Chain A
Amino acid sequence: MSIFDIVGPIMVGPSSSHTAGAVKIGYLSKKLMGEKIKSAEIYLHGSFRTTGKGHGTDRAIVAGLLGMKPDDIRIPDSFELAAQEGMTFKFEGINLRNAHPNSVKLILKGVSGRELEILASSLGGSRIKICQIDGLEANFSGDYPTLVVHNLDQPGHVTEVTSMLSHKSVNIATMQLYRNHRGGDAVMVLECDQEISPESILWLEHLEGIRKVTYLSLEEAP
């Protein structure tokens, strides 16, 4: 645990879990989308739903979706900024099964028409967890460059991805595999020590049996 997790972070109040964590969820979701968001359906669960308004959780999530970080002083004005940028959003309450009390489900549409569904939880402090991507299980914090690959549950795809990473000298920190049923939809989540190049992502996207590739880069967008 870093000393700067104790003294810090610098954030916009009032709550590290309800505000800073919520911004982070929005921010990571936008990064995972990889492009500007056109519309967002935001479903608040548990304590996010009951005390989110007073904690600015709603404004925090929208701020994150616009690309703001937890210390951005424009967070309270995010609804107005979203209107200016042409991003539409709506809020609903939801009762998610087996979800952490501070959770949110996001259904996002990007400017190119790309769609992304995220379920994420704010765990306390400003730590967060992405729990689902497009309905399939996932489990990562956004602290590492993270590659999420949706593929058909067939032999060979894990090797394709890992050999590509090895070829590019990218070290895998953690790796998780999920599938809905044998031979069905599968997802692999790889947290890496190095960034993965856009060309490598593109190469993966074109492989047969790979349905969707989502990448979380920690580098700033140009």
Chain B
Amino acid sequence: MSFTSLKEIVSLSKSSGKPFWEIAMEEEMRDNQITREIALEKMRNLLEAMKAADKNYDEKLKSPSQLVGGDGEKITQARLNKTIFCGDFMGQVMEKAIKMGESNACMKRIVAAPTAGSCGVIPAVLLSYQKEHQIDEAKMLQALFVTGGIGQVIAHRASISGAIGGCQAEIGSASAMAAGAMVYLADGDADAIVQSAALALKSLLGLVCDPVAGLVEIPCVKRNVIGAFNALASADMALAGICSQIPPDEVIDAMRSIGDVMHSTLKETGEGGVAGTPTGIRIAEALKQ
């Protein structure tokens, strides 16, 4: 049984003196009867797979629908030409987020985190930060356990599926998970970790899942950028001492209640939102041929 609230993890962290990641990992070890070594090894495989996916981006690839591909490379070029507002670090984050989303659409190997459609958010922030600050492998694995602990609670109290909760459940969850991991990498405590997750999720509440033609392409790929940027901003806010006035678990519950009332046309059916625009419909019709 994994944790059902972030509050539980924080209070356990305080009472035991163990960091957030360790509490999440120990619960996994107990729950699935695995050793510490195996838990770490499994996470190492995921980290390696994220890095390999980032490295193996191929700018020439197009998705089977031909709708997606090559945009990550445009950001690389803009960054190299120093023509982006966001600065080089954020440029790298943007580039990685799009590239991962595109690789996914182009049937390359990725790590669903928490889902395939939101697979760019966590690696974009974590891998960019690791490169910039030379974070060692052990700490990266710990940061991934932070993402997993937050994601588990969200999946338990609400959902990580676009079909159930809209895109807030995919990109929103990914963003909250990534924010917590970034706070951890900057040595924030368990409290700051869950505050950042709350701030991140709160900002993406209501986000609908409206894929054109039902494909994980438009607008999914570029939404990974907003999830990643939002994660960094939320981590910065939490590290500066800003708290979410609404407690993190209540924010997750709010996401669930929003998902419950969200119209089905906005939950991965490819009917509403941008999928329902004249162009969205035209693309869907053309692909049917």
Beta-carbon contacts under 8 Å, B185-240 to A: 213-217
Which of A1, A4, A20, A126 has a CB less than 8 Å from the CB of B46?
Answer: A4
Q: Does B287 contact A (CB under 8 A)?
A: yes
Q: Does A64 contact B (CB under 8 A)?
A: no
Task: List chain B residues, Cβ under 8 A from A20.
Answer: 112, 116
Q: Does A26 contact B (CB under 8 A)?
A: no
Q: Are A8 and B115 in contact (CB under 8 A)?
A: no
**Chain B, Cβ-Cβ closest to A72:** B109
1/0 contact string of A72-98 vs chain B (CB within 8 Å): 010110000000000000000000000
Interface size of A by CB at 8 A reads 32
Q: Are B152 and A1 in contact (CB under 8 A)?
A: yes
Q: Are B110 and A7 in contact (CB under 8 A)?
A: no
Task: List chain A residues, Cβ under 8 A from B107.
Answer: 12-14, 19, 56, 59, 75-76
Beta-carbon contacts under 8 Å, B1-44 to A: 2, 24-25, 27-28, 31-32, 42-43
Q: Does B144 contact A (CB under 8 A)?
A: yes
Which of A10, A56, A73, A76 has a CB less than 8 Å from the CB of B45?
Answer: A10
Q: Are B216 and A6 in contact (CB under 8 A)?
A: no
Q: Are A7 and B104 in contact (CB under 8 A)?
A: no
**Chain B, Cβ-Cβ closest to A125:** B161
Q: Are A13 and B104 in contact (CB under 8 A)?
A: yes
Q: Are B215 and A51 in contact (CB under 8 A)?
A: yes
Q: What distance in Å separates the Cβ of A122 from its nearest Cβ neighbour in chain B?
A: 11
**Chain B, Cβ-Cβ closest to A55:** B215
Other CB < 8 Å A-B pairs besides A13-B105, A14-B217, 6 of them? A6-B177, A7-B43, A20-B116, A55-B216, A59-B107, A126-B112
User: Which 6 residue pairs spanning A and B have beta carbons closest together?
Assistant: A13-B104, A3-B148, A6-B151, A51-B214, A14-B216, A54-B215
